[in-house]
């Protein structure tokens, strides 16, 4: 990590506090980016900067109860002065901002470059596997949600997701659970990924996540 990226990291550390979107998550995404980008022709400075900055707006979204704040959009704007101060060119700043804007799962802004695709994939696979399970239950504790709840997904979407859509935002977080999140998002993530490397990682992690949820259900039902 060069001095510019280190200074970006220090700026982001001042903004993040949410346990599900903290510097641990940022650095996992950063390392995922390096792994996926290996042997690829990409602008590593843009990719590394975007990886460190991608969730800089997360806390502002978290504190907005209206649901109108998009951390990707506001994060891109927050990133610009940091990058300017460090001497990034206008073209690179725009590229980094585009990567940040398009990293979000629930958005119409799709990645347009290899760097943006890699960041998108690196962020998504962090929601899967063992670390994905840990993040899910961290979120449950923070939002007083359910450690176990299974529902009819279509009915749940109408009741508790904006616009009644599977990809809508959660309205009442206390009604949510890791099982619901896996059914509406987790198991489908592999279909949203762009890179071969990320799809290989996601396939194994989704299997691990599902096996965990199946085991948990059997324990809850007294079968184990």
- pLDDT score recorded for residue 182: 97
Task: Please give the residue range of the domain that contains residue 8.
Answer: 1-109
Say yes or no: 81 and 36 in one domain: yes
**And the tokens for 63?**
């504190």
pLDDT of residue 63: 59
What pLDDT is recorded for position 87? 95
In a domain, 122, yes or no: no
Q: Are residues 103 and 190 in the same domain?
A: no
- pLDDT reported for residue 21: 56
Residue 30, φ and ψ in degrees, nearest 5: -55, -50
In a domain, 156, yes or no: yes
32, 126 contact by CB (below 8 A): yes
Quote the pTM value.
Answer: 0.90
pLDDT score for 19? 47
- Of 55, 76, 109, the residue at which a domain comes to its end is 109
pLDDT at 73: 87
pLDDT per residue as tens, the chain (224 positions)? 789 999 999 999 988 865 455 889 999 999 999 999 998 999 999 999 999 999 998 866 665 566 666 788 889 999 999 999 999 999 999 999 999 999 987 677 899 999 999 999 999 999 999 999 999 999 999 999 999 999 999 999 999 999 999 888 899 999 999 999 999 999 999 999 999 999 999 999 999 999 999 999 999 999 99
Q: Does 100 share its domain with 190?
A: no
In a domain, 116, yes or no: no
Taking the CB of residue 165, how many other CB atoms lie within 10 A of it? 12
The total number of structural domains in the chain stands at 2
Output the pLDDT for position 64: 58
**19 is a domain residue:** yes
Task: Kindly state whether residues 79 and 168 are assigned to the same domain.
Answer: no
Q: Which of 76, 109, 142 is the last residue of a domain?
A: 109
100 and 147 fall within a common domain: no
């Amino acid at each position: 990590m060069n001095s510019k990226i280190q200074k970006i990291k220090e700026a982001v550390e001042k903004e993040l506090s949410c346990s599900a979107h903290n510097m641990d998550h940022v650095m996992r995404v950063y390392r995922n980016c390096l792994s996926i980008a290996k042997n690829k022709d990409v602008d590593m400075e843009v990719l590394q900067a975007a990886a460190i900055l991608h969730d800089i707006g997360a806390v502002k979204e978290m504190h907005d109860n209206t649901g109108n704040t998009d951390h990707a959009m506001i994060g891109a704007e927050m990133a610009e002065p940091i990058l300017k101060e460090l001497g990034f060119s206008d073209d690179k700043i725009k590229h980094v901002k585009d990567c940040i804007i398009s990293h979000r799962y629930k958005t119409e802004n799709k990645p347009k470059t290899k760097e943006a695709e890699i960041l998108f994939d690196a962020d998504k696979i962090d929601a899967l596997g063992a670390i994905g399970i840990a993040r899910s239950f961290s979120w449950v504790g923070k939002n007083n949600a359910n450690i176990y709840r299974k529902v009819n997904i279509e009915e749940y979407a109408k009741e508790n997701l904006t616009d009644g859509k599977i990809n809508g935002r959660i309205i009442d977080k206390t009604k949510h659970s890791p099982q619901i999140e896996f059914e509406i998002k987790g198991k489908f993530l592999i279909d949203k990924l762009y890179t071969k490397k990320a799809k290989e990682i996601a396939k194994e992690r989704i299997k691990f996540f599902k096996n965990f949820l199946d085991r948990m259900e059997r324990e809850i039902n007294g079968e184990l």
